[in-house]
Amino acid sequence: MLSRLVRLPSTWISFGIILFIVLLGFFGPLLAPHDPLAGGGTLLAPPTFAHPFGTDYLGRDVFSRILAGAPVSVLSALEVAGIALVAGAIPGLLSVYLGRAFEWLTLRLVDTLIALPFLVFAVAMTALLGNGISQAMLSVGILLAPMFYRVARASAMSVIASQYVESAVLSGSSTAWVLRRHVWPKVVAPIGIALANAAGAGLVIVASLTFLGIGVQPPAPTWGGMLASDLGYLDYQPYAPLFPIVLIVLTVWALNLAADVLRDVSGESGRILLKRRALRRAKKRAVRRPVPIPRES
Amino acid sequence: MSAQEPLLEVSGLDVFYGRGSARKQAIFDATFSIAPGEVVGLIGETGSGKSTLARTILGLIKPDNGVIRFEGADLATLGHRQRQLFRRSGAVQYVFQDPLRSLDPDFTLEESIAEPLLSSGAHSRAEVATKVREYFRQVRLDEGLLSRLPGQVSGGQRQRAAIARALISEPRLLILDEPVSALDSANRVQILELLQNLASPSVSLLFISHDLGSVAGITDRVVVLYRGRIVEIDTTDAIVNDPIHPYTQLLVGSAPILGSGPSDRAWRDDIRSRLGAD
C-alpha cells in the first residue's frame, strides 16, 4: 500500500500541508515576532512590515496570535481524533471477538452517543466538568468515537466472515495469526481514513467551540476565537477573518484529501484505480508520440 | 479395500440448524466411510446438505448426534485446543468452491500456499519456500505466477493454487467442495485430470458435487445425498449402470453424457412426482 501511496501527487500535497500545520502547532508560539497577548499598538491597523497581518481591536499583532493559537487549534484537533480512535476503534474491533454481551452493550452505548447533538453535549460537559480545553476535547472525542467504532467493527466483521479466514482457521492458524495477517491489514486503511476525517471534523468543532467561547478563555488566542472577534469589526477590517479561515479551511481540506488518498489506494479498489491511471497515462503518451506511419516503398 | 481400517468413518450423524420453532434438521442419520486411498463422490442437488456434511466433518458445525472417526479418533468430541492441533497436523484439508473468495485478495499465491506451514511456526522460511515451489510444480503452475495476487490469475490457475495450498500440509484426506463448478469446461477437464493424478494410497479424496458426470470418471464409490438423507452408496459403476433409488435414477438420467436410461421429460416428471410423495 505504501508503494502505491507515494506514487500519487495528492499524497505529497495533503501530507505536506498536514506536516506544515502540525509543525506550526508545535513551534508556532516560538516563531511569533510579538507577544500575542500584548496590546497597545495601533488598533485595527492594516498589514504593515512590522505587523504582516495587521493588528486587532486591542492593537495585538494578528500574525503572532495566529502562530500562538496554532497549538490549541491543531493539536487539540489531533487530540480529539486520538481520543475518538482509542475510545471507538478498540471497542469496535473487540465487539467482533468478545461475545454477545460486550457486543450488545457497546452497540447500545454507541447508538446513544450518536443520538446526542454535538455542541449541546460539549456545552453540557463543560458545565459539568468546568470550562477548559481538555474537557472540551474529551467530550468531542467521545462524540466522534461511534464513527471509529462502526468503521472498525464493520471492516473486521466482513473480514472475519470471509472464506479466506475460514480457510486459515481450517489450516490450524491461531486467532492471533488471523488477526495479525488477515484482519489488521484490512482494518487499518478504513481506520486511517476515519482518523483523517475525524481530525478535520475535530478542527472545525474546536474552532466552533472556541468561537462560542467554550474551551479556551480570552485573551488566549485560538483560530476559532479570532474568527469570532474579527466578525465584530468587519466594517473596519473586512479582510481580517480571512487569516484564520484560510488556515482552518486549508487544514480540513488537506485532512480530507489525505482520507481520500488512503481510501483510493487501500485494498482491491486501490489497485484497480492505479491500474486505470497508469493506462490513462500510457494512452496520453501514445497520443503525444504518434507511431510513424511507414511509407510505401 | 473393505478389509482395511477406514480412514474416515461417519455414523449416525444428525445436524440441526436454527433454534426454537425455526429449528430444522439438515442431515438425517448419515453413515458412510472412506478407506485409505479411496476416492469417494458425494453427490446431491443444491440444498441437499452436501456442504453441511463436509463442514461437520471439518468441525465447523457441531453435530447434534453421531460419531465422526478419523483414523480411529473421534473428531466430534475434540476440545478447542485439540482441534487446533489436529487441524495444524494437516491430516484433513478442504478446497473451497470459489478460490477467489477462499484466497486472501492481498496475499500473493506464494504467501497463500505457504500460510498453513508458516502459521504453525514449525518450519523455517527457506524450507517453506522450497516446498511451495515443489507443490506449485505439482499442480502444474508456472513459477512466475508465485508473486501474483489471486485477482491477477485465471480461475483455473487460482483453483490450482488453492489445491496446492491444501496439499502442502500433506493431508491424508482431501475434501473438495465443488472444485470445478466455478470453472469453464476446458479448465474443468484439466483440474479433474489433476485430481485424478493426485489420488494415491496415501491420499483419500471426498469429492463433493451436484453433477454426477463430473465426478464419475475419477471416483471409486459414490454417496448419494437427497434432502439430508443418504439414499444410496455404491461403487461408481453400479450407481451409473444400475441405480436403485429413484433420485439416483433421476441423477443418472439427467446427465447427458451418461444417458443410458430413458431421459425424456415425462420420465423425469414421473420420478419427481414419486420423490415428492416420499
- At a CB cut-off of 8 Å and minimum separation 6, what does B203 contact? B37, B171, B172, B173, B174
Instruction: Look up cell 515443489; give the residue.
Output: B134
Any domain includes A205: yes
Q: Is B89 left (phi over 0), alpha (psi -120 to 50) or beta?
A: alpha
Q: How many angstroms separate the first and last alpha carbons of chain B?
A: 34
Q: What percent of chain A has pLDDT over 90?
A: 12
B148 contacts on A by Cβ (under 8 Å): none
* Burial zone of A293 (CB within 10 Å; 0-12 exposed, 13-18 middle, 19+ buried): exposed
* Closest residue to B87, CB basis, from A170, A182, A185: A170
B149 contacts on A by Cβ (under 8 Å): 271
Tell me which DSSP letter residue B73 carries.
E
How much is the pLDDT for B163? 92
User: How many separate domains does chain A show?
Assistant: 1
Contact A172 B119 (CB under 8 A): yes
Q: Evaluate whether B139 touches B163 at the Cβ level (below 8 Å).
A: yes
Any domain includes A113: yes
* Closest residue to A170, CB basis, from B58, B112, B151: B58
Contact B90 A171 (CB under 8 A): yes
How much is the pLDDT for B14? 93
Any domain includes A120: yes
Any domain includes A79: yes
CA pair distance B47, B49, nearest whole angstrom = 5
B70 touches chain A (CB under 8 A): no
Contact A167 B94 (CB under 8 A): yes
* Closest residue to A182, CB basis, from B102, B104, B165: B104
Any domain includes A47: no
B91 touches chain A (CB under 8 A): no
A4-26 per-position pLDDT tens digit: 777 788 889 999 998 998 898 88
- At a CB cut-off of 8 Å and minimum separation 6, what does B12 contact? B29, B30, B31, B65, B66, B67
How much is the pLDDT for B1? 46
Take residue B189 and report the three cell numbers written for it: 477437464
B98 touches chain A (CB under 8 A): yes
Residues of A contacting chain B (CB within 8 angstroms):
162-164, 166-174, 177, 181-182, 185-186, 267-268, 271
**Interface A:B, Cβ pairs < 8 A:** 65
Q: Where are the alpha helices (DSSP H) in B168-264?
A: 185-198, 212-216, 236-241, 246-254
Considering only A123-137, A254-268, B55-69, B140-154, which range has the smallest mean pLDDT?
A: A254-268
The residue of chain A nearest to residue B95, with distances taken between CA atoms, is A167
CATH of the domain at A75: 1.10.3720.10
How much is the pLDDT for A273? 59
The residue of chain A nearest to residue B89, with distances taken between CA atoms, is A172
For A180-209, what is the mean pLDDT? 81
E strand or H helix at A14: helix A9-31
Considering only A36-45, A147-156, B138-147, B266-275, which range has the smallest mean pLDDT?
A: B266-275
Contact B120 A169 (CB under 8 A): no
* Burial zone of B245 (CB within 10 Å; 0-12 exposed, 13-18 middle, 19+ buried): middle
CA pair distance B238, A236, nearest whole angstrom = 100
**Longest Cα separation, chain B:** 63
B169 touches chain A (CB under 8 A): yes
* Torsion (CA) A87, A92, A98, A103 in degrees, nearest 10: 100
| Residues of chain B with confidence (pLDDT) below 50 | 1-2, 259-260
Nearest chain B CA: its distance from A231 CA (Å): 52
For A59-84, what is the mean pLDDT? 87
**pLDDT band for position A271 (50/70/90)?**
low
- At a CB cut-off of 8 Å and minimum separation 6, what does A92 contact? A106, A148, A149, A150, A151, A152, A153, A156
**Longest Cα separation, chain A:** 92
The whole-angstrom distance between residue B159's C-alpha and the CA centroid of its chain comes to 13
In what order do the strands lie in the sheet containing B65-70? B73-74, B65-70, B8-17, B24-34, B229-235, B221-226, B39-43, B204-209, B173-177, B92-95
CA pair distance A249, A204, nearest whole angstrom = 9
B109 contacts on A by Cβ (under 8 Å): none
How much is the pLDDT for B7? 92
CA pair distance A94, A240, nearest whole angstrom = 48
Looking at per-residue pLDDT, the higher value among A290 and A248 belongs to: A248
Any domain includes A63: no
For A195-209, what is the mean pLDDT? 79
Nearest chain A CA: its distance from B116 CA (Å): 5
- At residue B223, φ and ψ (nearest 5 deg) are -105, 125
B101 touches chain A (CB under 8 A): yes
* Closest residue to B105, CB basis, from A169, A174, A268: A268
Any domain includes A291: no
Nearest chain A CA: its distance from B143 CA (Å): 22
E strand or H helix at B222: strand B221-226
Contact A172 B90 (CB under 8 A): yes
* Closest residue to A167, CB basis, from B96, B149, B169: B96
CA pair distance A25, A57, nearest whole angstrom = 24
For A42, the 3-state DSSP assignment is: coil
E strand or H helix at B30: strand B24-34
Structural domain range at position A105: 69-280
B84 contacts on A by Cβ (under 8 Å): 172, 174
B89 contacts on A by Cβ (under 8 Å): 172
For A161-183, what is the mean pLDDT? 88
* Closest residue to B88, CB basis, from A162, A172, A185: A172
Any domain includes A73: yes
A162 contacts on B by Cβ (under 8 Å): 101
Tell me which DSSP letter residue A98 carries.
S
